[in-house]
Amino acid sequence: MSSVAIIGAGDLGGTIAHTLAARDRINEIRLVDDASDVAAGKALDIRQSCSIERSDTRLTTSGDLAMAIGADVVVMADAAGPRPAEWNGEVGLARLRRLLDQDRDAVVVCAGASQRGLMQQAVRDGAAERCRLIGSAPRALASAVRAIVALEADCAARDVTLSVLGLPPHATVVTWGSATIATAPLASVLSDQAIGRLKARVPHLWPPGPFGLASAASDLCEAIAGSRGRPTFSCFVAVDQRPTAAVLATLVKVGSTGVREHVVPSLSPGEQVEFDDARARA
pLDDT number for residue 228: 63
CB 4 within 8 Å of CB 228: no
Q: What Cα–Cα distance (Å) separates residue 18 from each residue in 138, 196, 210?
A: 21, 37, 12
First and final CA of the chain: distance in angstroms? 38
Choose among 112, 118, 142, 105: nearest CA to 238: 118
Low-confidence ranges of the chain (pLDDT < 70): 227-230
Q: What pLDDT, on the 0 to 100 scale, is given for residue 176?
A: 97
| 78 vs 161: CA distance, rounded Å | 30
Residues 3-32 pLDDT 10s: 999 999 999 999 999 999 999 999 999 999
Q: How far apart are CA 140 and CA 215, in angstroms?
A: 7
Any residues with CB less than 8 A from the CB of 48 and at least 6 apart, and which? none
What is the per-residue burial (b if ≥16 Cβ within 10 Å, else e) of 91-109?
ebbebbeebbeebeebbbb
- What DSSP string runs through 55-77? ---EEEEES-GGGGTT-SEEEE-
For residue 132, what are the CA distances in angstroms to 25, 29, 135, 257?
21, 19, 10, 6
For residue 242, the model assigns a pLDDT of 78
pLDDT at 69: 96
Largest separation between any pair of C-alpha atoms in the chain: 55
Whole-number Å distance between alpha carbons of 221 and 213: 12
Q: For residue 175, which amino acid is it?
A: T
User: How many whole angstroms separate alpha carbon 56 and alpha carbon 49?
Assistant: 11
- What residues contact 79, with CB distance under 8 A and at least 6 apart? 8, 9, 10, 33, 34, 35, 85, 87
- Note the pTM of the prediction, 2 decimals: 0.95
Domains and CATH numbers, the chain: 3-136 (3.40.50.720)
> Residue 229: its pLDDT value, please?
62
Distances (CA, A) of 278 to 54, 104, 109, 137, 239: 44, 30, 22, 17, 12
Give the strand pairing for 3-7 and 28-32.
parallel
